Amino acid sequence: MRYSHSSIETFKTCPLQFKYNYIEKPDIKKKQNAEAFMGSMVHDTLEKLYKDLKYNKLNTIEEVLEYYNSLFKESYSEEKVEIIRDGFVIENYRETGEKYLINYYNQYKPFDQAKTLGLEQEITISFYDSVKDKTYNLVGYIDKLALISKDHIEIGDYKTNAQAKTQEEVDKDRQLAIYMIAIKKLYPFVKEISLSWYFLSAGIKQTSYRTDEQLSLLEKEVIENIRDIEDAKEKDYFPAKPSALCDWCSFRTICPLKKHDFLDKQEPVLENKYLKEKGVTLVDKYQELSEKKLEITKDIDKELALLKEAIINYSKENNLEKLFGTNKNMLVKEYDSIKLPLKNTDKRKDLETFLKDNNFLDLVSDISIYKFSDLFKSNFFSKDFEDKIKEYITREKIHRLYLNKK
């Protein structure tokens, strides 16, 4: 079994939760809480920002937010994400993440404080337990590993918790200190390794250091922690340890200490009124409702298209980028876009041949409009090439509308 900082912490918080999560893995619909979901969307967006920078592409804040918002929209579903706090809706979390990204962007732009060595970098550390004569492997992921100067590496972690930690708390934090053990071995020439937490909510960075002595003490602690887990596995002893964190536990619907709450609150199962119908009736009804749904959707889409056209007109006539509704605000954004010839048309085939002849083979297998458009807008192609390719593409303005809370 590969351990991680979070699996060790889970065992310390509640051994039963550890057993469910890392050993039994019961087949239940696990939901991610909205805080963790928003955090992972922000992490992925920052990862993209720094990945693009490696290839000299500095995304604008609009591009960063567009990526974040479309990722958020694509990844979110009520079945996968759970909002635990009363009175909150998913929009509150989306907006919070957006605010964090804007603050971070403004604070660190143009992001030239350090050279990026790794993003979401996986590290594995081996710990030898002389008591059990066993080696344990612990795996971890570093949000951002950065070279501050030739003698100084920073292990960076983005935090999207509402509250930042104090200096005393980060000085005691074990996660980045454990990663430091691995980084020291990977980069023995580096004189200084700092541990930095970027608290996106407060816009502050806390930095901490560890001595060799502290690291060897930590190593001993980690070995003892893992040994406790190994003992629990041998005895199959994973007692439930209830705490305030139970509300955030994905297994509370099956945990013997918590599931009673859910049995009482479970919604009554609606009886399926079609169960006794004949096959032909079921198919006819299914067809009828599917067609009805299609009609309704079509009508709504038509109305929305008319509204969008009217909103764009209104904003252009009055030179407005932001409109105010009764409950929501709306941003009206205009972007430059390009259009490729449709798939399976002669013009598209000509374009593919043209790209192939100009050594852009990787684009040809399946021309991605996003990738192509990005390369085009970032002046990736030579002027000469751009002039030639213009006959295959059409430039156009596109508009996007964003509804935001007031």
Binding residue (CB under 6 A) for ligand SF4 from 17, 160, 196, 225: 17
Our CB check for ligand SF4 shows the closer of 53 and 257 to be: 257
Establish if 14 lies at the interface with ligand SF4 (CB under 6 A).
yes
Please state the closest distance from residue 227 (CB atom) to ligand SF4, in A.
21
Establish if 31 lies at the interface with ligand SF4 (CB under 6 A).
no
DSSP 24-88: I-------EEHHHHHHHHHHHHHHHHHHHHHTT----HHHHHHHHHHHHHHH--TTTEE--STT-
Please state the closest distance from residue 13 (CB atom) to ligand SF4, in A.
7
| Of the candidates 195, 167, 166, 168, the residue with the CA atom closest to the CA atom of residue 180 | 195
Establish if 377 lies at the interface with ligand SF4 (CB under 6 A).
no
Taking contact as CB under 6 A, which single stretch among the options 90-98, 195-203, 247-255, 313-321 is the one that binds ligand SF4? 247-255
Residues 6+ apart with CB under 8 A from 159: 165, 197, 198, 199, 200, 201
Our CB check for ligand SF4 shows the closer of 22 and 67 to be: 22
Please state the closest distance from residue 83 (CB atom) to ligand SF4, in A.
18
Our CB check for ligand SF4 shows the closer of 14 and 146 to be: 14
Site string for ligand SF4, 160-179 (x = CB under 6 A): --------------------
Binding residue (CB under 6 A) for ligand SF4 from 89, 102, 109, 242: 242
Site string for ligand SF4, 251-280 (x = CB under 6 A): xx--x-xx----------------------
Whether the CB-CB separation of 193 and 155 falls below 8 Å is answered with: yes
322-324/328-339 β-pairing: antiparallel
CA distance 403 to 91: 10
Site string for ligand SF4, 121-150 (x = CB under 6 A): ------------------------------
Q: What are the φ and ψ backbone dihedral angles of 79, each rounded to 5 degrees?
A: -70, -25
Please state the closest distance from residue 267 (CB atom) to ligand SF4, in A.
20
CA distance 186 to 125: 11
Please state the closest distance from residue 14 (CB atom) to ligand SF4, in A.
3
Site string for ligand SF4, 311-350 (x = CB under 6 A): ----------------------------------------
Structure token digits, residue 16: 């039963």
Establish if 10 lies at the interface with ligand SF4 (CB under 6 A).
no
Taking contact as CB under 6 A, which single stretch among the options 102-110, 240-248, 329-337, 361-369 is the one that binds ligand SF4? 240-248
CA distance 141 to 386: 41
What is the residue type of 258?
Answer: K
Establish if 8 lies at the interface with ligand SF4 (CB under 6 A).
no
Residues 6+ apart with CB under 8 A from 333: 62, 321, 399, 400, 401, 402
Please state the closest distance from residue 268 (CB atom) to ligand SF4, in A.
24
Establish if 26 lies at the interface with ligand SF4 (CB under 6 A).
no
CA-based radius of gyration for the chain: 27
Our CB check for ligand SF4 shows the closer of 233 and 399 to be: 233
| CB < 8 Å & 24+ apart, contacts of 24-33 | 26/251, 26/254, 28/250, 28/251, 28/253, 28/254, 29/79, 30/250, 30/251, 31/79, 31/80, 31/81, 31/82, 31/250, 32/80, 32/81, 32/82, 33/81, 33/82, 33/83, 33/84, 33/248
Please state the closest distance from residue 1 (CB atom) to ligand SF4, in A.
19
What is the residue type of 216?
Answer: S
Whether the CB-CB separation of 23 and 240 falls below 8 Å is answered with: no
Our CB check for ligand SF4 shows the closer of 30 and 252 to be: 252
Establish if 33 lies at the interface with ligand SF4 (CB under 6 A).
no
DSSP 179-199: HHHHHHHH-TT-SEEEEEEEE
Taking contact as CB under 6 A, which single stretch among the options 67-75, 125-133, 236-244, 321-329 is the one that binds ligand SF4? 236-244
Contacts to ligand SF4 by CB under 6 A: 14, 16-17, 240-242, 245-246, 249, 251-252, 255, 257-258
